[in-house]
Structure 1
Amino acid sequence: MPTDRPGSRIESAEAVADAILYEGYLLYPYRRSSGKNRVRWQFGVLVPPAWAQAQGLVDTGVAGSAESPWQQTECLLEAADSATVHVRLRFLHLQRKVAEARTAGGGYRPVDRIEVSDRTEFSFDEAVPREYDVEAPIGDLRTGRHLEIRVPGGEDVEPLVDDRGVPVGRVVRRRWPLSASVTVSAAPAEAPFRLLRLRIRVENTDETVPPDSPRDEALRCCLLAAHTLAGVSRGRFLSLLDPPQWAAGAARGCRNVHTFPVLAGEPGTVDVLLSSPIILYDHPQIAPESPGDLHDATEIDEILSLRTLTLSDAEKREARATDPRAAAIVDRVDTMPPEMLERLHGAIRSLAPVRRSGETDTGTGPQRPWWEPGADAQIPPEAETVLVAGARLARGSRVRLRPRRRGTDAHDMFLDGRTARVEQVLLDVDGTRFLAVTVDDDPGAELHQWYGRLRHFRPEEVEPLPGEMRTAR
């Protein structure tokens, strides 16, 4: 039965949030010896402020791959003062796993690896998930709600014995104390209707890390993969990617630093927000075919699973010894039934007729699909020109980019308003035209032209520049 608690709404988005939490935690081939697993923790890293200042970390952009002592979310909310907002901060707490061998005197000494019977353990960094909540009525948030977070350190020891029961070593997992703060506030936003700007600021407040410490030591007291979820009862969040026209100005005024908020939960819902250090669309979803986390959400499950199957027995043994999550991936892929692997090959979410070449949708009824008798046997791969706002655009035409807010690459938002040169006018198999362009002032434009790495936009996503405004014939 549905509940009116905003906390329960948050839980509906935690599957996607978990993918963010462990994004890049450990990358294929999941072995410690792999170079890309030696420099870790790339997203949402909140570092001690003194250490950040010493390193010159003063960037205030949106991207969460930059290390910073704080992150800030600003989003738009329609709600009465009696409505309740629930904010959940989530992050990883570094845990250093050290293999130790037993000495002749009965003590222990750190080693790079230890082998006991059929088990191998490497010294390696793991992480423990943490969550902290702030919940308050909108009326209280007008003066702000502040939460101080203190995460204690700790140590866990796992003895290792041989087949005879004789102690030969141990695995020690150590965590260092963390300190942080969360401040949640709400203030009126400039709009013709009642609208609030909700601000969530997360800060690392650690004062124990020396400013000249190496990164590996500073990471002990960092918040890793930090992000927030927010839910509201009797209210709704507005999309910053596609706000209603009356709130567009207020959306542009939101300042998001090292994180970016999108609507979360089931498509069509507006009472859950995910603020992620990785730029996403509204309502991101985990593919139902995915059998489990592979820690690389920018890759394809099928590719990573097939690659994992090709690892040698020695490589799989090393992966299992590197980290328990790596061991779980290898075990899952090794035992995956063929029918499950086939499901990863692809899925059709929806079906629609494909129009034949040159046929357009007039809105008067169903169009003749290309496979019917009399339809064109061949669909031309490229059209030479396309008509946009009275201008006939072709190779060499100049345009201004106006990317859509939905259904496109989220990074295209950073190209809004930039000018570009049309390199090709393409016709897709379904009759849709695309403009392939290179962006002006792109230092790599000539290289992109050379090997065909172009940016693609629909005709409605571009504006002809004044020099191109000539009437089509």
Structure 2
Amino acid sequence: MSVTAFAPETEARFALARQVADAVLFEGYVLYPYRASSAKNRLRWQFGVLVPPAWGAECEEHDFQHTECLMEPRADATLAVELRFLRARRRTVQRACADGDFETVGELRLGDRVLVPWDEGTEERVEAVVTVDELVDGDGVTIAFGRPAGEESEPVLDKSGRTVGRVIRRYEEISGALRLSARELDGPYRVLRLTAVVENTSTWTPADGQAGDRDAALPRSLVASHLLMGLSAGSFLSMTDTPEWAKGLIASCRNLHTWPVLAGETGRADVMLSSPIILEDHPALAPESPGALYDATEIDEILALRTAALTDEEKREARGTDERAAAVIDLADSMPPEVLERLHGAVRGLREVTGSASAEGFPDEYGIPRPDTPWWDPASESGYDPAHDRVVVDGRPVGAGTRVRLDPGLRHTDAQDLFLRGRTATVEAVLHDVDGAVHLAVTVEDDPGADLRREQGRFLYFQPDEVTPLEDDA
């Protein structure tokens, strides 16, 4: 085993995957309106937080992540692993006193910003390269790591260069372990199940009064932790687009508090990203994105416009909150119109619509031929009745009231489908779209909000090949 810098070819493959991994690392780091005083920014970091074991046992947060996936390594292959996480750095603000001493304050107002106490996140990495043979032999490989406690002081100067205060940044000691192992499985081809476990091994114990204090645990936690794994020769198997022969093996993989997907260049399968956020294979950032906004629950266009519309005082506080928050403010203020226009929308693909315009039609103002007949005739809907229509699935008629088992994911259109796979549901309606496709509107059984969804007409939708009628349904 070696804990060393990656080879150039490995670094190049990981560089592309890190574009998405960075978004995972800083997901929700600071939310609009990017001020520390905002209620949204007082409860920090919700994804991939591995807390000290003594604290997590009482507060139901996790102290480990467990990843399992399948790989087909070639002879003499090596596995490069990069553990990435944020380390919380607690910042306090002090004002300079007349006697040369400093006093801790709630804010320090400067001309261009307002400095306030805040937990900054610094990126940490643990890198290792191991041979696949090492992972198969014995108990695998364990890589222990740690970072010592520390304190940094930075003077705060005004425009004239006079010291008006200082910022104190304190680190708490953290420790952890990365455990890697592999096991060869029975099957028609040589395939190994790779297991990667990340643990917070801190021995810190909450003091009296800190049992429920999350702020006390965060500086000793591994925040937004995730893994990049790359094979020098060979490939990983997709967890969702799995070949038929490997589906049973994939089903035996156990993933806790994390989810592995293929990453990096599309069409390749030699890099895996294990993320605390559910992603699809080969996730990518939109090319129109102007930069990191850290608030991934918002639409970039709306977020940029709202950020640019903040008052000068709000922008001063945001700039003093964090360097990353300041960068968002500067980005919104300097974004040229052509960049903002690209955020308004993009066409990723086109498909032909049934009954589209014929060449004989008279062209419209855009030069597109008009159809001789309308592509959709409202009168044609009279022959459909969602409440009584039936569709044949596996030789059985399915309609409103039929109980079915959900088997989504055939088209891999929604990462959230994995939560519904195998659940039972009741069909509420059979719907036909203008292209002639059939959709089943369903409510999931045991959903406490099913009656409310039914009253409001808010259903989940699946195509017939994504459900199986239940045998016990009359």
Shared fold (TM-score, shorter chain, > 0.5):
yes
What is the distance in 1 between the residues matched to 2:390 and 2:21? 41
Mapping of residues 231-242 of structure 1, within 5 Å: 231-242=230-241
The match for 1:177 among 173, 178, 184 is 173
- Is 1:45 the counterpart of 2:49? The answer is yes
Instruction: Within 5 Å, give how 1:227-306 maps onto structure 2.
Output: 227-306=226-305
Equivalence for 1:54 = 58
Q: Measured at CA, do residues 270 and 383 of structure 1 come closer, stay the same or move farther in structure 2, by a change above 3 Å?
A: farther
Amino acid at match of 1:202: V
Structure 1, unaligned runs of 5 or more: 58-66, 358-368
Aligned to 1:97: 91
Structure 2 residue matching 1:47: 3-state secondary structure: coil
Cα 1:95–1:458 shift into 2, 3 Å: same
Q: Does 1:190 align with 2:186?
A: yes
Measure the CA separation in 2 of the matches of 1:342 and 1:117: 32
Distance apart, 1:467 and its partner CA: 6.4
C-alpha spacing 1:376/1:189, structure 2 compared with 1 (3 Å): same
2:125 maps to a residue whose letter is: E
- Name the counterpart of 1:435: 440
SS of 1:13's partner is: helix
For the residue of structure 1 that corresponds to 2:151, the secondary structure is strand
1:374 Cα deviation from its structure 2 partner: 2.8
Q: Which residue of 1 aligns with 2:121?
A: 127
1:124-163 equivalences in 2 (<5 Å)? 124-143=118-137, 144-163=140-159
Correspondences of 1:461-472 after superposition (within 5 Å) = 461-466=466-471
Are 2:309 and 1:307 aligned?
Answer: no
Q: Which position in structure 1 is the counterpart of 2:361?
A: none
Q: 1:344 matched to which residue of 2?
A: 343
The whole-number CA distance in structure 2 between the counterparts of 1:110 and 1:122 is: 10
Shift of 1:108: 1.2
Instruction: Kindly state the Cα deviation for residue 142 of structure 1 after the two structures are TM-superposed.
Output: 1.4
Aligned mates of 1:395, 1:342 — CA distance in 2: 45
Q: 1:201 to 1:211 in 2, by over 3 A?
A: farther
Q: CA 1:193–1:163 in 2, change beyond 3 Å: closer, same or farther?
A: closer
> How many angstroms apart in 2 are the aligned matches of 1:125 and 1:239?
37
On the 8 A contact 2:54/2:204 being kept in 1, the answer is no
Q: Answer whether contact 2:33 2:318 (CA < 8 A) is retained.
A: yes
Relative distance call for 1:202 and 1:370 in structure 2 (3 A) is: farther
Structure 1 72/181 Cα, relative in aligned 2: closer, same or farther at 3 Å? same
Does residue 21 of structure 1 match 2:15? Answer: no
How much has 1:405 moved relative to structure 2?
Answer: 4.3
Tell me the percent identity: 50
Q: 1:116 to 1:249 in 2, by over 3 A?
A: same
| Deviations 1:121-147, CA, capped at 9 Å, x for gaps | 111111100111121111111131221
Number of the residue aligned with 1:107:
101
2:95–2:108 contact (8 Å) kept in structure 1: yes
CA distance change for structure 1 residues 30 and 383 in 2, over 3 Å: closer, same or farther?
farther
- Give the superposition deviation at 1:372: 2.8
Q: CA deviation at 1:258?
A: 0.7
Instruction: Tell me the CA shift for residue 43 of structure 1.
Output: 0.5
Instruction: Verify the 8 A CA contact 1:94 1:175 in the aligned structure 2.
Output: yes
State which drifts further: 195-204 or 96-105. 96-105
Q: What is the Cα deviation at residue 396 of structure 1?
A: 2.8
Q: Does the alignment pair 1:454 with 2:444?
A: no
* Contact residue 89 and residue 121 of structure 2 kept, 8 A: yes
Deviation at 1:465, TM superposition (A): 2.9
Letter in 1 for 2:124: R
Counting matched residue pairs gives: 446
Residues 319 and 425 of structure 1: is their aligned pair in 2 closer, same or farther, counting only changes over 3 Å?
farther
2:4 aligned residue: none
Structure 2: which amino acid aligns with 1:39? L
TM-score by length of 2: 0.88
| TM superposition shift of 1:398 | 2.5
- Structure 2 CA distance for aligned equivalents of residues 48 and 252 of structure 1: 30
C-alpha separation in 2, matches of 1:207 and 1:405: 45
Quote the RMSD (CA, aligned, Å). 2.3
The match for 2:327 is 328
2:15 match: 11
The 1:314/1:378 distance shift into structure 2, 3 A limit, reads farther
Alpha-carbon spacing, 1:84–1:8, altered in 2? closer, same or farther (3 Å): farther
Matched, 1:413 2:418: yes
Contact 1:355 1:370 in 2 (8 A): no
Alignment CA distance shift 1:161-1:79 (3 Å): closer
What residue identity is the alignment partner of 1:458?
Answer: Q
Q: Could you give the per-residue CA deviations for residues 248-287 of structure 1, whole angstroms, max 9, x where no partner exists?
A: 1111111111101011112221001000001111111111
Q: Render the CA deviation track for 1:408-444: whole Å, top value 9, x for unaligned.
A: 2212112122221222333334443322211011111
| Alpha carbons of structure 1 residues 383 and 285: separation in structure 2 relative to 1, 3 Å | farther
